[in-house]
A and B are shown apart, each in its own frame.
Chain A
Amino acid sequence: MAKTDALQGSLDLLVLKILSRRAPLHGYGIMTAIEEISGDALRVEEGSIYPALHRMEEAGLVRAKWIEKSNGRRARSYEMTARGRKQLTSEEARWTAVTSAVQRVLKLA
């Protein structure tokens, strides 16, 4: 549970970051990408990734389209919009600021 909690505020950031590198990607792909890159340190629950994606879609940060997969199934793939890119930049900066601040506190306190 602790893992997901830590992710709470940063899921959007992670999703956007993943999409900025390897779009388009469907929900499952995004989930596994996060897990793989973090070396399984971060686990994304199915229960939170889709609401997050849908919310971001509504907010115009990502857009989705259906693509045909090799097995005949359709998958909904997401890619980042221009607004998403802007959001990513500012979120990333904010995150860096916050974590480095936390770092400093941890070191110096």
Chain B
Amino acid sequence: MSWIGRFTNLFRRDRLHEEIAEELASHIAEAVERGRSAGEVRKAFGNELLQRERSRDIKLVPWLDSLASDVVFGWRQLRKRPAVSTAAILSLALAIGATTAAFRLVDAVLLRTLPVAHPDRLFYLAVNYVDRDGQPDYRDDFDYPTFQKYREAVADRADLMVVGINARQDVVFGSAAEPERVYRQYISGNVFNVFSLQAALGRLIAPYDDLTTGGSPVAVLSYEYWTRRFARDPGVLGKTFRMGSDLFRIVGVAPRGFIGTEPGAVTDVFVPAMMNTEAIHSLGWSWFRIWMHPKPGFSAEQVRQLLQVFFLREHQERLKEFDSRTAKTAIKAFLNEKLLLLPAASGASDVKRQYRRPLLILAALVILVLLIACMNVGNLLAAQAAARAREMALRVSIGAGQWRLIQLVLMESTLLAAIASALGTFFASWSAPLVVSMLHVPEDPVRLVLNSGWRSLAFSVALTSLVALLFGLAPALRASGVKPISALKGGQEPPSRRRGMKALLAAQMAFCVLVQFVAGLFVASFQRLSNRPLGFSAEHVLVMDLSASQKQPLQVWMQMADQLHGTPGVQSAALAGWPLLSRNRWTEMGVRVPGKLTEGRPSYVLDVSPGFFETMRIDQIDGRDFRRGDLPPRLGASTQPLPGVGIVNEAFARVYFKGENPVGRSLWLPIAKDLSAPMQIVGYVRDAVYYDVRERVHPTMYLPMNPRQHDAFLVRTAGDPLALAPTLRSLVLKARSDFQVHTIETQSDFIRWQMLRERLLATLSLFFAIVALLLAVVGLYGLLNYLVTQQRREIGIRIALGARPTQVVRRVTTDLLAMVSFGLFLGLAGGLACGRFVESILYEVKPTDPAAAAPLLALFAAALLAVLPPAIRAVHIDPAETLRSE
């Protein structure tokens, strides 16, 4: 009887045939032995072939047959009511598509393991600390001198690896004129060995490539880049490219599928860590993560403890370098830092770190939307099942088994789910890349391998089955449990069914509110962030990142600025160490104002040229701008402190001067260990955001610029800033051949970058909220419509007996509206409970804001709207007609 047995029969048809034949042959032989003639027995058997067929049929065909007929029947059922089916399929497709897209994103960013040996034995180092606002945080970038010390400390217990942070860099291939931009990753010589990777072509970077600083300018291309840039030309080996001041030789191609270690980035070129000649000896220049692979026999925790001891000793050592006036709290926090090992099986990247929570929240929202859609379709099918109660009853009374009916109804829902899933996959393959493109501005795109082949497929299949079961099982069980007598008599369906449908409605409303609520928070958060005053004007400002071949005095840089200023279309030009909101910062802890105790108060510092405030449109309150020849506080030639000038903002004045005008006052700025130099305040400017769009404005000092090699040019243009970019680039290169233009971006891009997460969350959650609302409204409408149809007779009688329209309407809607309100309430409670989880990524919005309840009103209004048409229909029921039709 078992389905499995029948299914295996399907595959051993021939054996089955033989067995039956043998059994019959054995029978005939025995009959002949007992004296009957073979012919007679054969005749008694009838047509032997037919006999065999009949016996086989019993074992094999009925199930297949019924399956096939169920598919046909299910399809016909779907076609019979195109409107309902289309609505069901479309809403499911939307939900399944969104879920699939979310899965692909989550998989690509958070889940997928690296295609390397023993990914579960890979870890990366991080240091946890308490940030300025008292929140625990961690950093995972390290400098090379520290790495060398750690490597010695773990010696033969583990492999420590330099795994560089992907960065874009301009390279020139061969004798090409134009530079191309590649993503390069510095790695130590042991990385490919530890990962057990084999070159697709040539060889990989080996330990001997990574022994001396600048000693081995070799490069390995990623398979993806080799395909994209060189069309898999094997002749690429031995070719050279110039990157920075070094000429690199391509020695190999990494294996297919290995695209680096950072979800969100695809490495083009791997180069040995020791080729980062500038950074290799700089303590404090952090440019890579340290990955760790414990050797056999050692656990990760053993290695961590070893490193922790070493880390602490080193910290105490470094403490001696601290200024003697450093705040005690700062020292305590410093000594409390701990070394962590984080699992690296699925890679490590900032994208992963930054989008982990947002992606999980969006995934949760998507699942809620999917549930709402499933409930909708479930209710739809239940209503249908009620309408088909007679059909089912008839089937039961002519002997259809319970399983048979379940199979019948499940087949229908599977068909629905399968069609929706196919559509949804289309939707996902269109929408997932769209979301990825939202994660970053075009200049520096996030690159993700979204379709992971069998993983995506397996997910789709599992999701489809789950969804089919989810909305199909209840109606299937109900259909199979039908009581033929009551159904055929046309009696009332059991009230338990309607109760079930109403419970579903309440749950649906609750989920919908939850989605609305969370979406509302994100949208409000994004709005507040977008509208926050930044203190400067980013529009029309172009940021050019320039470097010279060696340190140049401010004089030289200013000449360049003057030249840019003279270009038509340029309103003003200035310099800064880096642009505002570029995620660079210089924090000064030891500012002292005579007669004022402000221990350990951090201030931001930015070095700027004359004209900076004008270019950025930061208003000057008092004092003056910098002039050429102004100097910052600094260390003289014979290590004596020399005085300088500076400009401060309002927050600075509030903290150090009780908000009074600080122009003319002096303070002490640390310039070396235990050494400060006086700084006179010559200017007082309005607050401007420095590091992060979300942070409040910190005390900020602007200092005149020192001679430097690297600078950011800020150019205010009259029109579209990017239109001027090519002109400005060639102008710079013509004026100074020893200058390099690294990037040209707009200042607005920096702001957009910083708000990407908020924009993403707001846009997508708003989309989900709208979908959820639509689905819920359709569900409500469908349910009420069904109830009115069911109660037509009763309503007709009531109207005939003189019930007024209001009574009729109240009768059909009271229950439902109660359920809706109950659902709203539940959802709101859920939203408040979840609020804590999302709070950390909100900007100045609290889940407890009364404004957060606004979506509820929208939802309630929508619910009323959905209820209206069926209610009107109920009022217009013609009693005579209804009663006649019964």
A residues lining the B interface (CB < 8 Å): 26-28, 45-47, 50-51, 54-55, 57-60, 69, 73-76
Contact = CB atoms under 8 A, between A and B. Distances in A.
A45 B29 CA distance: 16
Interface residues of B, number: 22
A46 B27 contact: yes
Interface of B: 1, 5-6, 19-20, 22-24, 26-27, 29-31, 41, 44-46, 51, 54-55, 58-59
Contacts of A54: 20, 55, 58-59
A28 B31 contact: yes
A45 B54 CA distance: 15
A45 B44 contact: yes
Contacts, number: 54
Nearest to B60: A58
B463 to A, nearest CB: 35
B41 A58 contact: no
Tell me whether chain B's interface is mostly helix, strand or loop, or mixed. helix
A83 B22 CA distance: 27
Contact of A73 (B29, B54, B58): B29
Contacts of A45: 44
B58 A28 contact: no
Given A27-B27, A28-B30, A58 B59 contact: yes
20 contacts: A27-B23, A28-B26, A28-B30, A45-B44, A46-B44, A46-B45, A50-B24, A51-B54, A51-B58, A54-B55, A54-B58, A57-B59, A58-B6, A58-B58, A59-B1, A74-B26, A75-B23, A76-B22, A76-B23, A76-B26
Contacts of B20: 50, 54
Contacts of B26: 26, 28, 69, 73-76
A74 B27 CA distance: 10
Nearest to A43: B44
Contacts of A69: 26
Contacts of A50: 20, 23-24, 27, 51, 55
Given A45-B44, A50-B51, A60-B1, 10 more contacts: A46-B44, A50-B23, A50-B27, A50-B55, A51-B54, A51-B58, A54-B55, A54-B58, A73-B26, A76-B19
Contacts of B22: 74, 76
Given A28-B30, A50-B24, A76-B23, A55 B58 contact: yes
A47 B51 contact: yes
The 5 tightest CB contacts between A and B, nearest first, are: A47-B46, A46-B44, A46-B45, A54-B55, A76-B23
A26 B59 CA distance: 19
A40 B54 CA distance: 27
Nearest to A55: B58
B32 to A, nearest CB: 11
Nearest to A83: B1
Contacts of B51: 47, 50-51
A50 B45 CA distance: 9
A58 to B, nearest CB: 6
Contacts of B45: 46-47
A28 B27 contact: yes
Nearest to A75: B26
Contact of B55 (A51, A59, A73, A75): A51
A89 to B, nearest CB: 19
Nearest to A69: B26
A78 to B, nearest CB: 10
A75 B6 CA distance: 23
B749 to A, nearest CB: 71
Nearest to B46: A47
Nearest to B19: A76
A41 B694 CA distance: 99
B181 to A, nearest CB: 69
A95 to B, nearest CB: 20
Contacts of A74: 22, 26
A69 B718 CA distance: 105
Nearest to B9: A58
B513 to A, nearest CB: 51
Nearest to A27: B27
Nearest to B34: A32
Contacts of A27: 23, 27
A57 B29 CA distance: 23
Choose among B6, B29, B41 the residue with the greatest number of A CB atoms under 10 Å from its CB.
Answer: B29
Nearest to A49: B27
A75 B30 CA distance: 10
A45 B5 CA distance: 28
Nearest to B33: A71
A45 to B, nearest CB: 6
A75 B27 CA distance: 8
Contacts of A57: 59
A46 B1 contact: no
A73 B55 CA distance: 21
A74 B18 CA distance: 12
Contacts of A47: 44-46, 51
A28 B23 CA distance: 10
